[in-house]
Structure 1
Amino acid sequence: MNRRLAIKQVLIFAGAMALLPSCLREEGKVSIQLQHLDISATQEKLLEEIAELIIPKTNTPGAKDLKLHLFVLKMLDDCYDKKEQESFLKGLQAFEGLAGAELKEKLIEANSGKPGLAKEVGDFYAIMKSRTIGGYLNSKYVMSNLVIWELVPGRYNGYFPVKTA
């Protein structure tokens, strides 16, 4: 009887240890796993808003629907060096605390390349804009619904009108 109780307690303890990391997850962290970047949940929301301002929702899904801000973060984490990552984070900090019209105005200034703007803000916006657009153009939605590919050399059309010379 004691052996059964011991095995039962060990299994319960092992199950609790397996579940413990998910219970202790810090609130306010980014929703994807990043190796080199330390992004908070508020910064992720800000990146989501900026991406939505770059590619807004119309009759096609916008950046928020396609979660392009997560694509930008993953590309930045995996493909950019430490110096560019730090510059991106410094530029992101310049946008923190802004919302709505202030954010749009600051983004327009960054897009126009005003000389009085900090270099980090320009670097941040350049990376954010290029990766957001790249992620949109390579998204499943665009590749399956907007871009229609035909295999080379294409289909044969025997009824194609030909003009005589």
Structure 2
Amino acid sequence: MNRRDALKKSALAIGAAAGAPTLLSLLQACAKTDRLTWTPQFLNEDQAKFLSSFVDFLLPKTQTPGGLDVKADIFIDLMYAKTYDESGQKQVIANIEKFNADCKAKFGKVFAALSAEDKAACFQEHEANSPKFPKKVWGGDVGPREPVGFYRGLKSTVLWAYFSSEEIGKNVLSYDPIPGEYRGCMPLAEVGNTWSL
């Protein structure tokens, strides 16, 4: 093999290696959207599809990462597996099954299989009919704390998982690490006014 052929083959190999991720992402984009790309620790496949669909519809990818990008669904499944007792786990499964049964009764399909318009209608109905969190004053509840139901509880958990993820905390929200940067020697003029706490 001469040098020219070796360079051509090397260039093709490098191009194929560089282009492979793009081709794979195109193939993945064309794949069926309701398949799972992760292995649930607690939920079965249909329940995990529900959770992923719920997360994706609540927090879709825009200019910022979506809920699936930060793996909020995987985190919640793991949370169910590791922190819920047996009765709590049974209640989660019963709630998911009831949510899907309600969707089937109203729209003819489980939540994960609904169109975007039907998912929006489902969310609007649950938003209107679900109990609200109690009002708070200085971090404490005002009045008795009533159960908020599955929809609002799951929505709150998804938002918590999303905003407490490292990706969102560091790259989307303003990030000021505690206790902050240490600069041991700096001119007094740069300090400015005395800081209030």
* Range class of TM-score, shorter chain: 0.5 to 0.7
1:110 counterpart (109, 122, 126): 126
Task: Tell me how far apart the structure 2 counterparts of residues 125 and 84 of structure 1 sit (CA, whole Å).
Answer: 15
Q: Is the 8 A contact 1:91 1:123 kept in 2?
A: no
Render the CA deviation track for 1:51-80: whole Å, top value 9, x for unaligned.
112222221100122221111111112112
Cα gap change, 1:84 to 1:109, in 2 (>3 Å): farther
The match for 2:31 is none
Identity of aligned residues (%): 22
The match for 1:133 is 159
The match for 2:175 is 148
Task: Tell me how far apart the structure 2 counterparts of residues 110 and 102 of structure 1 sit (CA, whole Å).
Answer: 12
1:74 counterpart (75, 78, 81): 78
**Cα displacement (A) at 1:136:** 1.0
5+ residue gaps, structure 2, are 1-34, 101-109, 132-147
The match for 2:189 is 158
Counterpart code for 1:149: D
The match for 2:145 is none
Please, what TM-score do these two structures have when normalized by structure 2? 0.52
Whether 1:39 aligns to 2:65 is: no
Task: Tell me how far apart the structure 2 counterparts of residues 79 and 39 of structure 1 sit (CA, whole Å).
Answer: 17
Render the CA deviation track for 1:106-141: whole Å, top value 9, x for unaligned.
2222233358xxxxxx63323321221111112121
Whether 1:123 aligns to 2:149 is: yes
Q: Is the 8 A contact 2:56 2:67 kept in 1?
A: yes
Q: Is the 8 A contact 1:88 1:123 kept in 2?
A: no
Counterpart code for 1:50: F
Q: Is the 8 A contact 1:87 1:124 kept in 2?
A: no
Counterpart code for 1:77: A
* SS of match in other structure, 1:89: helix
The match for 2:87 is 83
Q: Is the 8 A contact 1:56 1:63 kept in 2?
A: yes
Count of matched residue pairs: 127
Matches within 5 A, 1:28-67: 31-32=38-39, 34=41, 37-40=42-45, 42-67=46-71
Task: Tell me how far apart the structure 2 counterparts of residues 68 and 150 of structure 1 sit (CA, whole Å).
Answer: 23
Q: Is the 8 A contact 1:51 1:132 kept in 2?
A: yes
**Cα displacement (A) at 1:38:** 4.2
Render the CA deviation track for 1:130-154: whole Å, top value 9, x for unaligned.
2211111121212221232144476
